[in-house]
């Protein structure tokens, strides 16, 4: 059989404008491809690379390849694009079997219960998709596979609220990275210093060392999906995978890389003993940094350049309101410890929909007085399935799927939307001025500097214009 795995191109300019700054490989499709039984032809179509209309490119691809199975994986804000592509697939190839998967399919499978989609794979998806392919290729009935819902008359609505259990980490395959070209994927690499006149946009590989998070932040669904567990992979398998990577820069896409001290120390020692020479970026909590500063120093010695720390807010009251279980002092101390260790910080902050101009002023002033960091500022947008989503969903003022990119408020803003986005864009610009790239002593290629400035300008413009993405008169939403 011929199997085509598809990553759609997003529709929102707030996402598209970030492509020059961060554009990562379609790792989820590599995992799915890895479980396809031998003897079948698998291709990955990353429509985010499309220079032309993605629907035209998709039609050309399916008409030439003629896949027996088409699989889509997408974020919630891309779900409407998946539906359009699925309809196009059925129009061109009536008998092709169309499958969807990913976070949206896992939490909100009813949204994909439409005629042009045949099956919805939920959860991690590797075992389920592999079994689905096996049954279809043998001509057997595909029904009854755990974690797979079928559409139409066979849709089991009583199973929607039952989330799949996460499989044994040992059962997760190594993703097939041979199905795409790494030259197409890169991101701006955070570091305290760039002193060697090398590109700051290296090719980057995504890699998982673990899954899940034991915390319960109100805006995040990961604890619910993982049962508030932190599951780790076998250290030898991780180091084998790292060694096999073509890029020298590795982005650990864990929910929290450093939760398990014993595991992460063993991994560092294994990397060191095997003399693996890579650069690393990972996510952590401020409280983890404070409890385990020596572990981060160990990782710095083997190549850890930066960590993402979710500071989120500038007051303890706001941190408590989202169940962050940290304080502003924790954030500031963690930031200091990282910089003292030579590790750059990507600082995550959230703007609340009910921000006043005084709230924006306060966050601007706070950021201006912070040490240098690469800032990642978003709108507080609860993940589907999170406790905040369940609490706020009756108050959403827009399509919560189409605008779910963490740049669009789903509930009413205190400020008029146009003013909200003017202040949001200004806040992002204040953060950009604090980037370590602006520090003296850096040696950065002129082409890379031009890329940063151009992309930053386009991103700020996309934020200022984001109020136009709302389907109603923006003034009626606040």
pLDDT averaged per 10 residues in sequence order, the chain, 478 residues: 98 97 98 96 98 96 98 96 98 98 96 98 96 95 95 96 90 96 96 93 98 94 92 97 98 96 98 98 98 97 98 98 97 98 98 98 98 97 96 94 97 97 98 93 95 96 97 52
Kindly calculate the radius of gyration of the chain based on its CA atoms and give it in whole angstroms. Answer: 22
Pinpoint the residues of the chain covered by CATH 3.40.50.280.
Answer: 2-159
Helices (H) and strands (E) in the chain, counts: 17, 16
CB 211 within 8 A of CB 226: yes
Helices (H), 311-445: 316-321, 328-340, 357-368, 387-392, 417-432
Contacts of 376 (CB under 8 A, 6+ apart): 308, 346, 347, 348, 349
Indicate the CATH number for domain 2-159: 3.40.50.280
Q: What is the pLDDT of residue 477?
A: 46
Tokens of 236: 């030898």
Residue 349 backbone phi and psi in degrees, to 5:
-130, 150
Q: What is the pLDDT of residue 478?
A: 38
User: Strand 119-121 relative to strand 148-150: parallel, antiparallel, unpaired?
Assistant: antiparallel
Helices (H), 341-438: 357-368, 387-392, 417-432
275: left (phi over 0), alpha (psi -120 to 50) or beta: left
- In whole angstroms, give the CA distance from residue 397 to residue 379: 15
Q: Determine which helix (DSSP H) or strand (DSSP E) holds 43, and give its type and residue range.
A: strand 41-46
Contacts of 243 (CB under 8 A, 6+ apart): 274, 276
Block residue for tokens 């979710």: 310
Pinpoint the residues of the chain covered by CATH 3.20.20.70.
Answer: 181-477
Neighbour count for residue 277 (Cβ, 10 Å) = 9
Contacts of 268 (CB under 8 A, 6+ apart): 295, 298, 299, 302
Domain spanning 181-477: CATH 4.10.640.10: no
CB 225 within 8 A of CB 166: yes
Helices (H), 93-210: 103-107, 126-138
């Amino acid at each position: 059989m011929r199997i085509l795995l598809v990553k759609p191109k997003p529709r929102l300019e707030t996402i598209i404008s970030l492509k020059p700054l961060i554009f990562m490989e379609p790792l989820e499709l590599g995992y799915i491809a890895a479980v396809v039984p031998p003897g079948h032809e698998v291709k990955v179509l990353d429509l985010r690379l499309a220079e032309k209309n993605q629907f035209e490119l998709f039609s050309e691809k399916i008409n030439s390849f003629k896949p027996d199975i088409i699989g889509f994986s997408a974020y919630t804000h891309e779900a409407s694009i998946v539906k359009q592509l699925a309809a196009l697939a059925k129009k061109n190839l009536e008998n092709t079997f169309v499958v969807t998967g990913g976070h949206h399919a896992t939490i909100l499978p009813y949204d994909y219960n439409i005629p042009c989609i045949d099956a919805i794979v939920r959860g991690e998806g590797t075992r389920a998709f592999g079994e689905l392919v096996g049954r279809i290729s043998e001509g057997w009935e595909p029904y009854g596979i755990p974690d797979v819902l079928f559409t139409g008359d066979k849709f089991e609505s009583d199973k929607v609220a039952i989330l799949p259990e996460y499989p044994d980490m040992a059962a997760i395959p190594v993703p097939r990275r041979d199905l795409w070209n790494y030259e197409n994927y890169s991101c701006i690499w955070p570091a305290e210093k760039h002193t060697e006149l090398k590109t700051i946009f290296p090719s980057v590989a995504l890699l998982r060392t673990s899954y899940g998070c034991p915390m319960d932040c109100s805006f995040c669904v990961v604890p619910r999906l993982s049962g508030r567990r932190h599951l780790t992979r076998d250290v030898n398998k991780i180091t084998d995978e790292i060694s096999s990577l073509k890029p020298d820069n590795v982005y650990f896409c864990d929910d929290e890389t450093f939760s398990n001290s014993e595991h992460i120390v063993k991994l560092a020692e294994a990397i060191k003993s095997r003399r693996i020479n890579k650069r690393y970026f990972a996510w952590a909590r401020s409280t983890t940094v404070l409890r385990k500063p020596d572990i981060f120093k160990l990782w710095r010695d083997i190549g850890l350049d930066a960590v993402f720390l979710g500071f989120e807010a500038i007051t303890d009251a706001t941190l408590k309101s989202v169940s962050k279980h940290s304080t502003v002092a924790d954030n500031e101390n963690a930031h200091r410890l990282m910089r003292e260790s030579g590790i750059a910080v990507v600082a995550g902050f959230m703007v609340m929909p009910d921000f006043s101009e005084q709230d924006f002023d306060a966050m601007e002033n706070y950021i201006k007085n912070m040490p240098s960091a690469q800032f990642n500022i978003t709108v507080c947008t609860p993940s589907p399935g999170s406790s905040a989503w369940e609490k706020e969903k009756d108050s959403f003022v827009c399509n919560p799927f189409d605008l779910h990119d963490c740049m669009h408020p789903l509930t009413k803003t205190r400020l008029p939307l146009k003013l909200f986005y003017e202040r949001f864009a200004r806040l992002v610009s204040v953060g950009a001025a604090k980037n370590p790239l602006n520090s003296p002593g850096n040696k950065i290629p002129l082409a890379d500097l031009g890329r940063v400035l151009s992309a930053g300008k386009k991103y700020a413009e996309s934020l200022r214009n984001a109020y136009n993405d709302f389907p109603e008169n923006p003034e009626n939403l606040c």
